[in-house]
Amino acid sequence: SAQIADLQQKLLDADNGDRAKQRWDSIATILEAKCALKYLLGELVSSKVQESKLQSGLQQSQASCSDVQKMLMEERNHVAELEAEFQNQILVQEQQHQEKV
């Protein structure tokens, strides 16, 4: 019975896939063709709108990433300046210590 149920489910799935293909293949009148074309154009418009939204989001993300990279470089430069200043202070301290000794 499990095998029968499995085979029935496979038949239903195959039938559903064939129905969609048959629906497009069985367009016989101008009215049906108009309806199909209207549906396809609606899907095209929908996908174009979605594409433009995704493209806009991508551009915003790229701009944000660029800003973060710029900020990171500024911070690295600042850290490098602080490190150089710190090393200079250490050198001065060591010289003062040597003079005292």
Cβ within 8 Å of residue 24, ≥6 positions away: 36
Please provide the DSSP assignment of 63-90 as one string. HHHHHHHHHHHHHHHHHHHHHHHHHHHH
Place of tokens 């050198």: 91
Q: What is the pLDDT of residue 33?
A: 83
Q: Give the type of residue at 70.
A: K
Closest among 38, 14, 16 to 27, alpha carbons compared: 38
**What pLDDT is stored for residue 22 in this prediction?**
66
Distance CA 31, CA 22 (A): 17
Per-residue pLDDT at 49: 96
Per-residue pLDDT tens over the stretch 17-64: 666 666 777 777 888 888 888 988 999 999 999 999 999 999 999 999
What pLDDT shows up at residue 19? 65
pTM of the model: 0.53
